[in-house]
């Protein structure tokens, strides 16, 4: 899968690192990127710390086609994403009239104070991302997509920009649930993986009502190869006397 | 807070990046570390990829007192954490008799196949971490703590080792819920933060039953400073005619 399109996600916020907030954005973006044929390769959760944010942005934008960030674009002192993205790219921040116009859809002119105007103070050269929930926009600079941290707003932003993302072949998956433990199947499963280097075969143990099981998840872009490998997993189960249930995924 | 004790977490697993699984370990560890006086500074979610895991382990163990990893220590081909940690430290993997003995508490000798013995094939020089759920141990090598990915097992491992972690001063928090929007309070809140550089003041917007509000979270090690800043936030609210509710945290 050398022509795969990859992405990274940077979750910005002390509240996730302190355990105050349970992040919900990773899971949403991970699933949405699968639909786009984009492979999420790395996620970093970093503090509201200028050096940490700049380092993550610059390291990851050099490695991946797409970088998404969530959090830190509000009006308060702890919202420093805009400054950090501008510094990472070496461009100035400036008051963006298009963003001011959008803020005025939500905020009365007499209430548009300096703090709120920070939400319209964006890196030069960025393209705005629509925020249908509260209007303060996200933006795209180079290959970095800057999104809100509040899940409802992040999701609305992401849903709006999703059609414009250019992925590779859609990543398909096939799951086989085996009612036997991982240790029993590991050797044969490794052989099946070795026979299909173009596929990614994952093994995830579970217990359900006291019964040990293993979910085998096969991922790849070729439906025929997936079906072949799935057949091999079911045949392995049959030989080992393990009950198996298959399910086609996205 | 220059004498603070810091940690990083590496979540290893394609299943989190593909959106198949919603990670639950970050939130658990983040909260538990607060209790220990340890500040979680960074989290990375990496794929089941040798180069990615080794890079994350080596970068983060150089930066933090503690590094925790979750995932990738089972018996199947996609469990490569042990190999990667050994390579990151430049030490050999070897069959660990103490770990074999623990596996035999759960697994009959005739069922202890090569795949299951991989769970006892650990980096030389490691110290075992108890696994009261399924016995296959985690381990400590240098400042890296290698834990299971299954939340129930990870939590049992973490709870067992927690008493041995040496943190700094306990990080206390105080929350003030303001029934007003962030944009209204941002300027004065920034001034309060500027007056208390030893504290970390976060601002988190919410809507509840259609009402806009902002949760102010003040964190630090000095209860008196927290109370002073909390009083200043309530006084700010009073001046702005915003209703405020306080709550002492951990």
In this structure, the answer to whether residues A123 and A211 fall within a common structural domain is no
The most distant pair of C-alpha atoms in chain B lies apart, rounded to whole Å, by: 75
Nearest CA among B176, B177, B173 for reference residue B199: B173
**Mean pLDDT on B80-92:** 98
Mean pLDDT of A111-125: 97
d(CA A127, CA A109): 24
Q: Please choose, from the candidates A30, A22, A29, the residue with its C-alpha nearest in 3D space to the C-alpha of residue B29.
A: A22
In which band, very low, low, confident or very high, does the pLDDT at A210 lie, cut at 50, 70 and 90? confident
- Which among A76, A114, A202 has CB closest to B203? A76
pLDDT in tens, A151-183: 999 999 999 999 999 999 999 999 999 999 999
pLDDT for residue B221: 93
Which of B8, B20, B172 would you mutate first to test chain A, the one with the most A CBs within 10 A? B20
Q: Are strands B5-12 and B38-46 parallel, antiparallel or unpaired?
A: parallel
Same domain, A178 and A155: no
What average pLDDT does this structure show over B65-80?
A: 97
Q: What is the pLDDT of residues B54-66, one digit of tens each?
A: 999 999 999 999 9
Nearest to A33, CA basis, from A8, A54, A59 = A8
Last residue of a domain, one of A131, A164, A197: A164
User: Do B114 and B188 sit in the same domain of this protein?
Assistant: no
Q: CB A182 to CB B42 under 8 A? A: no
> Is B48 within 8 Å of A202 when comparing Cβ atoms?
yes
The count of structural domains within chain B is 2
Q: Which residues of B touch A194 (CB under 8 A)?
A: 77
On chain B, the residues whose CB falls within 8 A of the CB of A51 are none
Average pLDDT, rounded, for chain B: 95
pLDDT of residue B207: 86
Query: Does B203 lie in the same domain as B90?
Result: no
Q: Kindly identify which residue of chain A lies nearest to residue B48, measuring between CA atoms.
A: A202
Mean pLDDT of B15-29: 96
Confidence (pLDDT) at A212: 85
**Inter-chain contact B77–A190, Cβ cutoff 8 Å?**
yes
Distance from CA of A144 to the nearest CA of B (A): 18
**What is residue B160's predicted lDDT score, i.e. its pLDDT?**
96
At residue A215 the predicted structure's pLDDT band, cuts being 50, 70 and 90, is: very high
Question: Domain of A183: which CATH number?
Answer: 3.30.70.260
Report the relative pairing of strands B5-12 and B93-95 from DSSP bridges: unpaired
**Which residues in chain A have their CB less than 8 angstroms from residue B150's CB?**
205
Together in a domain, B133 and B57? yes
Q: How far apart are CA A87 and CA A54, in angstroms?
A: 7
Radius of gyration of chain B (CA): 22
Give the domain extent around A87: 5-164
Q: Both B29 and B76 in a single domain?
A: yes
Q: Compute the nearest-CA separation of A125 from chain B (Å).
A: 25
Same domain membership, residue B123 and residue B210: no
Place of tokens 């983060």: B60
Instruction: Considering only the beta carbons, identify the residue of B20, B187, B200 that sits closest to A114.
Output: B187
> Residue A178's closest CA among A215, A209, A208?
A215
Tens digit of pLDDT for each residue in B171-207?
A: 999 999 999 999 999 999 999 999 999 999 999 999 8
Contact A203 B74 (CB under 8 A): yes
Predicted confidence at residue A94, as pLDDT, reads 97
**Among all chains, which residue has been given the structure tokens 């002119």?**
A109
Residue A1 has pLDDT above 50, yes or no: no
pLDDT digits (tens, 9 = 90+) for A60-95: 999 999 999 999 999 999 999 999 999 999 999 999
- The CATH number assigned to the domain holding A41 equals 3.40.980.10
The DSSP line for A41-97 is: EEEEEE-S-HHHHHHHHHHHHHH-SEEEEES--SSSTT--HHHHHHHHHT--EEE-H
For residue A136, what is the nearest residue in chain B, using CA coordinates? B183
Residues A42 and A132 in one domain: yes
- pLDDT > 70 fraction of chain B, expressed in percent and rounded: 98
Closest-CA residue of B relative to A6 is B17
ipTM score of complex:
0.94
Sign of CA dihedral B33, B38, B42, B44: negative
Domain boundary among the residues A113, A141, A164 is at: A164
Dihedral of CA atoms B80, B85, B87, B89 in degrees, nearest 10, equals 180
Asked if A47's CB is within 8 angstroms of B41's CB, the reply is: yes
Considering chain A, what is the average pLDDT of its residues?
Answer: 95
Q: Give which of B158, B221, B153, B173 is closest to B29, Cα–Cα.
A: B158
Q: What is the pLDDT of residue B1?
A: 47
Q: Indicate if A100 and A205 belong to the same structural domain.
A: no
Residues B180/B212, Cβ–Cβ less than 8 Å: yes
Are B182 and B65 members of one domain?
no
Are B4 and B168 a contacting pair, CB within 8 Å? Answer: yes
Give me the sheet containing B244-248, strands edge to edge.
B200-208, B211-220, B172-178, B244-248
Residue A220, min C-alpha distance to chain B (Å): 12
Nearest-neighbour CA in chain B from A78: distance (Å): 6
Residues B25 and B63 in one domain: yes
Looking at residue A226, what is its pLDDT? Answer: 96
pTM: 0.95
Checking if the pLDDT of B2 tops 70, the result is no
pLDDT at B92 over 70: yes
| Residue B250 predicted with pLDDT over 60 | no
Sorting pLDDT into bands at 50, 70 and 90, what band is A249? low
Would you say residue A137 has pLDDT above 90?
Answer: yes
Alpha carbon distance B111, B43 (integer Å): 37
Which of A32, A111, A113 minimises the CB distance to B187? A113
pLDDT number for residue A2: 53
* Claim to verify: residue B180 and residue B142 sit in the same structural domain: no
State which of B138, B164, B190 marks the end of a domain: B164
Nearest Cα residue in chain A from B38: A18
| Chain A residues close to B182, C-beta within 8 Å | 74-76, 115
Task: Determine the Cα–Cα distance for residues B63 and B195; give it in Å rounded to an integer.
Answer: 29
For residue B37, give the H/E element and its range.
Answer: none
3-state SS, residue B137: coil
Mean pLDDT (whole number) for A19-25: 94
Name the closest residue on chain A to residue B75, using Cα atoms: A183
């Amino acid at each position: 899968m050398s022509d795969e399109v990859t992405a990274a996600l940077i979750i910005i916020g002390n509240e996730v690192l302190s355990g105050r907030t349970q992040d919900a954005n990773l899971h949403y973006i991970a699933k949405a990127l699968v639909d786009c044929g984009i492979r999420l390769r790395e996620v970093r959760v970093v503090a509201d710390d200028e050096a940490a944010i700049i380092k993550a942005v610059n390291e990851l934008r050099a490695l991946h086609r797409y970088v998404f960030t969530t959090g830190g674009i509000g009006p308060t002192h702890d919202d420093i994403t805009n400054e950090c993205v501008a510094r990472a790219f070496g461009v100035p921040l400036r008051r963006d009239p298009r963003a001011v116009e959008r803020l005025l859809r939500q905020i009365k002119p007499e209430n548009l104070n300096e703090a709120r105007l920070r939400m319209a103070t964006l890196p030069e050269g960025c393209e705005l991302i629509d925020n249908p929930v509260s209007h303060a926009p996200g933006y795209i600079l180079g290959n970095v997509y800057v999104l809100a941290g509040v899940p409802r707003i992040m999701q609305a932003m992401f849903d709006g920009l999703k059609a414009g993302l250019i992925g590779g072949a859609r990543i398909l998956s096939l799951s086989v649930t085996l009612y036997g433990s991982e240790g029993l199947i590991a050797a044969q499963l490794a052989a099946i993986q070795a026979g299909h280097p173009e596929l990614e075969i994952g093994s995830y143990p579970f217990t359900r009502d006291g019964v040990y099981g293993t979910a085998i998840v096969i991922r790849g872009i070729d439906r025929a190869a997936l079906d072949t490998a799935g057949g091999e997993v079911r045949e392995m189960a049959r030989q080992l006397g393990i009950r198996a249930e298959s399910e086609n995924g996205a």
